[in-house]
Amino acid sequence: MENLDVTVLRTLHGWRLQGQRALLATVVRTWGSSPRPVGSIMALCETGAVVGSVSGGCIEDDLIYRYSRAHGAVQGSSAPAGITHDIPTGPPERVKYGVSADEAHRFGLPCGGTLELVLEFNPDAASLAELVRTLETGHLVERRTELATGRVELRQAAAPAALREDAQWLSNTFGPEYRMLLIGAGQLTEYLATMALFSGFAVTVCDPREEYRNAWSVPGVRLLTEMPDDVVRDFRVDRRSCVIALTHDPKLDDLALLEALETEAFYVGAIGSRRNNEARHARMIEHFDQTTESLARLRGPIGIYIGSKTPPEIAVSIMAEVLAVKNGVPLPRDMDVASAKNTLAAAASAPTCFVSP
């Protein structure tokens, strides 16, 4: 599964290339609670087809009702004034949802939630094609829309940026897919790769061991056979990449992790217990001239402590930590594992009280 923004833009381009009317909706402002963050996008075709999301679904339904010919044919002449059931031409428009309590309830917004959208009508197919092509080559792109005319400018961006808006321009930065490189093709990797795929990551697995590769069964994952450190060097790791070692084999993991630490990867980690993690650090310091400071970005033990024992549960804990780091959510370095285990042990040993009916 690819990055959702790329999916939206590619689908929108396909509609426009076929000559169909379509609109692009962007969340530009929120107040209070809101289902989707600023910068979220969705596209609507005149047929009523929708890709992407700006809410939990109710606002999408309202946009379909307002701008879908298919829905308009069903509604006929009973449509309220001002609703044409057709996607117009012209400059972008602003719409707000959830201004009143009644609207918040109608559109399924959280209590007090309000959001504002900018609607772009019939975006240019050539500009969309250039945007999608650039994203597919792995580059960040700033898309600037002139609010008075709908004219679009594309610029390569050096770094991810939040949506910006002034009286003249709406600027939204789109990035290529987030990527995950997993070292080792074991059972845990299968679960983690599957979760990463449906979380929008492009997943690559590296394992030079034929006996592990032969059992691999997750479609949609690129499987490589070279030594992991060579793969990391060739992977063009960037700030939208994460590298995770899952083999428990220092011959495969250590050099690859050291290569990853030299990159801008947002997450570098290795499976193993606290003792194994301490041994890994000691090896790297003794044999590879590393220091405590140079290894500060190396995560281990990886995963949020949830008492996981089985491979799928361990994969859930790792994926949760990866997503938290990706989304900028602060986490205690070691998730206070010892404290969590002590709490669970105390709860397990506490006497259970039974109350007679």
343 domain-assigned:
no
Q: What is the pLDDT at residue 109?
A: 60
For residues 219 and 82, state if they share a domain. no
Q: Bin 236: left if φ > 0, else alpha if -120 < ψ < 50, else beta.
A: left
For residues 109 and 238, state if they share a domain. no
131 domain-assigned:
yes
51 domain-assigned:
yes
From the DSSP assignment, how many helices (H) and strands (E) are in the chain?
12, 15
What backbone phi and psi angles, to 5 degrees, belong to 327? Answer: -90, 5
Q: What is the pLDDT at residue 80?
A: 47
Pairwise CA distance, residues 109 & 95, whole Å = 15
For residues 144 and 240, state if they share a domain. no
347 domain-assigned:
no
For residues 90 and 28, state if they share a domain. yes
Domain end point (choices 174, 195, 223): 174
pTM, two decimals, is 0.67
pLDDT tens-digit map of 254-304: 999 999 999 999 999 999 999 999 999 999 999 999 999 999 999 999 999
pLDDT tens-digit map of 105-152: 565 565 556 889 999 999 999 999 999 999 877 788 999 999 999 999
For residues 149 and 205, state if they share a domain. no
Query: For the chain, what is the domain count?
Result: 2
Q: What is the CATH number of the domain that holds 265?
A: 3.40.50.720
For residues 60 and 163, state if they share a domain. yes
Q: Are 203 and 222 in contact (CB under 8 A)?
A: yes
For residues 300 and 268, state if they share a domain. yes
Q: Show the domain range for 110.
A: 4-174
Instruction: Walk across the sheet containing 50-52 and list its strands.
Output: 50-52, 41-45, 22-31, 114-121, 93-97
187 domain-assigned:
yes
